[in-house]
A and B are shown apart, each in its own frame.
Chain A
């Protein structure tokens, strides 16, 4: 099939940026969205045009590097799918597709569709860990963990840190991302010890990075490629209350 792309081009952080139009020819329905962009880029290079820059690595939906807002939706309209897993069979011959970077104050554009998401790393650095040094851990079976708790922790831990939740939110809030880490650790006995301190520090860092507040639009859950539930946001709010009361 043949498609028309409208793509955000921006040389660097200082550049104003603009939309450009490109044609994509002979696209196979089995291609991934990024493979389609690869084909377009090969063509651009042959024409002497700087190829479109975008983040990507594993191309199997787990590293969280790929992003892109496709026709207005982070990772495109397919449910529970990262851009790298999105197949062209979901588009029709002759379609015009608009491709933009994830947009948020805390995610400045680096080039074209690439943004700086290091703010998410700094939120984890603020407290998204169990303070345990290497060595001296008790036997892994010494602390039994209720199977359902382990499963719930895993549901939250599945977050790939792509930032789609932020890009989808009107307020550019990172609540789903933060609550996924809080929810992962608070469901395990190992993470409970520092639960009170952790939630406060992570939320404070989220605010400092310029992410907005949560006003329950739930767009984050709708676009999350790993289907992280907003129930973790409620859970996190309870944790914050608990921390406030006990302090």
Chain B
């Protein structure tokens, strides 16, 4: 299979303009003849559904939550990047592009990343026009803060709830189109498979989570905006419903899965406390603007933090990376935390956490300023841990967060299956091997508001309206397969709960496919995952019926997909014999423990093709060509 990324020719800065001119347009009067399915209602899904409906297309939007407003984009705290240069501190489209490519450790596509930086400025305008209550200065202009991996202040924010406010903005635009009858919304409805007709994506099969009814929906194109797969680790910062099912089912239908091993471990989360734990709570990276990260210099120092004198503290990020300090990128910060804990210098009961200390900032700026900047985060921390971060340093530890990998897409955000578009976190396109903070919100909205509505029109213009009926044989076949899987899950009646399998999978992934990986561990994981999967299909217990609201049944379907997907994840991690961004292979590091990339062998996107359960997927390579940026070793020193 030849992967054609369809990157337009010409200078980097002119590609998107040129492409927009070359793409086919659909006559405004004809737009209502086309229909699109959007799966997911987060930043990418809601903004895409609303924008397409505004253009005149007929949109159906599906989400498993009870309301589109609850998609997990809502959890994002810190902010959204844009190259506005409102601070006059030397920012530009090119700098945002460069920071993103460098932050991604030179494993993303130049053209996509540049376009992302270009449209970032429009996003802020759009959101302000919708009434997103961004933070403001006294003069009434927008305020900015800094984020990891950047030396400029380009992050816009709405207290510690930026994701919530941007999502509610997109949700309001979506709501307006629902009221106008241009979007038909299907909440509490889960996509269980993709339907292809003559090789094109023309519909989906879904389960109504309230009645259990399986049904088919046809359209001229399908857009997946179903988020990331971090829950393959079980414990993560993701919402508990987040899953890989939609994209994994598309993968099984022939869509290529790109770079699944690029998974970000976020450095600032509330540490794990016990077996029962269902999720890890993120503390926004913006805290690193004012918080200083440290551990005791000596091993097993059990004194309370306030009794450890200054000279016996190791501010290890400031020591190792003097120019970026506490704002070093996420992958580096996470690994450094693991290192000091592995050395026995970690703090807290488990020894697996580090301090994030605001004492200096409170002395310098006063409690009030800190409260204004981070009040809700401090409150959340206090609620969960019963410790007051105004008095004692926070304790943090890395946790699985964002997944840079996803379905492979070309410049048009179209997968290798014609008519199947993938946007937001669900695709692989813009962040390479590591995403910078405050860039996920930017990408979700860039894809949904400003890229997909154009590129999907080009597809419609090329293939024409098809008026596919969901009564066709292809839909019936998929419905039967979906129904059969549901029946099977309910009939096993074994001994172990779905959650116990999910936990066991998470433990394998964290131990062997987590923050630092090696060949031996990955091979071990590749033996353990299929064994666990086999046990699942033999011994899982799912109670209840298929024709009712049945949570464990929903979860069982998702965990079944995670149990297959985990293997693909480990295969990718094993094949990539280099360390880059969030993918750290212990065999490939310098004496100081810095990652060693291998650009000669691995400067490509690894796109995997499904070859059957338990069979090795086939690797397809998209070589990354850098015309504008020189590949260099990342340095944040």
Contacts and interface: CB of A to CB of B under 8 A. Distances in A.
Interface in A96-146: 110-111, 114, 116-118, 120-121, 124-126, 128-135, 137-141, 143-146
Interface residues of B, number: 81
A162 B90 CA distance: 42
B92 interface: no
Given A42-B500, A125-B176, A133-B54, A57 B239 contact: yes
B72 interface: yes
Contacts of B70: 57-58, 63-65, 161
A34 to B, nearest CB: 7
Interface in A144-164: 144-147, 150-151, 153-154, 157-158, 160-161
Nearest to A36: B276
A140 B128 contact: yes
Contacts of B54: 133-134
Interface stretch (A43-51, A165-173, A212-220, A234-242): A43-51
A38 B173 CA distance: 36
B548 A147 contact: no
Interface in A1-46: 11-12, 28, 30-32, 34-35, 38-39, 42, 45-46
Nearest to A143: B128
Given A39-B276, A145-B136, A185-B131, A134 B67 contact: no
A129 B175 CA distance: 8
A111 B500 CA distance: 24
B106 interface: no
B127 to A, nearest CB: 8
Contacts of B541: 45-46
B130 A130 contact: yes
Contacts of B282: 60
A243 interface: no
A85 B549 CA distance: 25
A163 B36 CA distance: 32
A196 interface: no
Interface string A190-227: 11000000000000000000000000000000000000
A59 B141 CA distance: 34
Contact of B240 (A56, A126, A130): A56
B69 interface: yes
A138 B552 contact: no
Nearest to B50: A134
Contact of A62 (B74, B136, B179, B544): B74
Contacts of A132: 126, 129-130, 173
B167 to A, nearest CB: 10
A89 interface: yes
Interface in A178-198: 184-185, 188, 190-191
A140 B125 contact: yes
A46 B540 CA distance: 11
Interface in B434-468: 449-450, 453
A53 interface: yes
Contacts of A31: 274, 276
Interface residues of A, number: 76
A188 B161 contact: no
Contacts of B450: 134-135
Nearest to A116: B66
Contact of A130 (B84, B122, B129, B138): B129
A159 to B, nearest CB: 9
B142 A140 contact: yes
Q: Which of B74, B499, B551 has the most CB of A within 10 A?
A: B551
B130 A140 contact: no
Given A117-B67, A141-B141, A59 B278 contact: yes
B244 to A, nearest CB: 16
B549 A57 contact: no
Interface string B26-48: 00000000000000000000010
A139 B172 CA distance: 20
Contacts of B185: 121
A162 B534 CA distance: 40
Contacts of A57: 65, 70, 72, 239-241
B305 interface: no
Q: Which 4 pairs across A and B sit closest by C-beta, in order of nearness?
A: A144-B140, A129-B172, A137-B129, A140-B128
Interface of B: 47, 50-51, 54, 65-70, 72, 74-75, 84, 86, 122, 124-131, 133-142, 158-159, 161, 163-165, 168, 171-173, 175-176, 178-179, 185, 187, 210, 239-241, 273-274, 276-279, 281-282, 379-380, 383-384, 386, 449-450, 453, 495, 497, 499-500, 541, 543-544, 548-549, 551-552
Interface of A: 11-12, 28, 30-32, 34-35, 38-39, 42, 45-46, 48-51, 53, 55-65, 80-81, 85, 87, 89, 110-111, 114, 116-118, 120-121, 124-126, 128-135, 137-141, 143-147, 150-151, 153-154, 157-158, 160-161, 184-185, 188, 190-191
Given A141-B142, A191-B131, 14 more contacts: A38-B499, A50-B543, A51-B551, A58-B74, A62-B164, A63-B75, A65-B66, A111-B548, A125-B176, A134-B126, A144-B141, A151-B133, A154-B135, A157-B133
23 contacts: A30-B273, A30-B274, A42-B499, A51-B552, A57-B65, A58-B239, A59-B240, A59-B279, A62-B75, A65-B70, A117-B66, A118-B66, A118-B187, A125-B176, A125-B179, A130-B172, A131-B176, A134-B173, A147-B140, A153-B131, A157-B165, A161-B67, A188-B133
